[in-house]
Amino acid sequence: MKTSGWHAADGKKRKRRASMLRRLAAHRRDLALVISAMGWLLLAWLAIDLLPFRLYRKMMRPPVHQPEISADGAPALIKRVAWAVIAVANRVPWRSVCFHRGLAAQRMLCRAGIHAELHYGVAKSTDKEFEAHVWVTANGQTVVGGETQDRFTVLGIFSGQDSSAQCADSRANGRFTPL
């Protein structure tokens, strides 16, 4: 019996997801990170695709928790969070674009005590319409969405809420900062 059309593609997706789970079983320390990424991507999808902006705007200003890791461990965690968000986003059955990925990465990093900023930018496309893009930075490096960020003009930055010194600069007061 020949499999055609969407059935074959659906089978490939299932195999790819199963392959990812097998690889993750070999890296148990990343399993919690992957589950967290899946949860945050789902919440981001639900918020962005189903709710009006005024209701999910608070999600873009997550509280920054007390650091759970040392300053030396932060770069490694940032890389692992980026990997988890991208790996899961490429395999979930729902739509997951830069905005979803950015919200998930920012929330995960802020929960770990790492200050992360969500950048929202626009650019003119070739057909004279506007394109929007979201990327996240933490500790001076781009976490997700950085592959095309140079083409975009930043309209605003959403930072985590925290009163400690690490988030005390004027852009990190938990409010939308238009530029």
By percentage, how much of the chain surpasses pLDDT 90?
Answer: 31
How many domains in the chain?
1
Residue 28 lies inside a defined structural domain of this protein? yes
Instruction: Give the gyration radius of the chain's Cα atoms.
Output: 18
* Residue 4, burial from CB neighbour count under 10 angstroms (0-12, 13-18, 19+): exposed
Closest-CA residue to 132 (of 118, 147, 119, 122): 122
Q: Is the pLDDT of residue 162 over 60?
A: no
Pairing of strands 176-178, 153-159: antiparallel
Residue 101 lies inside a defined structural domain of this protein? yes
**CB atoms closer than 10 angstroms to residue 36:** 19
User: Domain range holding 149?
Assistant: 6-178
Q: List, for residues 104-135, the tens digit of each pLDDT value.
A: 999 999 888 888 999 999 998 888 788 899 99
Q: Is the pLDDT of residue 177 over 60?
A: no
Residue 1 lies inside a defined structural domain of this protein? no
Residue 91 lies inside a defined structural domain of this protein? yes
pLDDT the model gives residue 83 = 92
Phi, psi of 103 (to 5 degrees): -60, -45
pLDDT the model gives residue 13 = 64
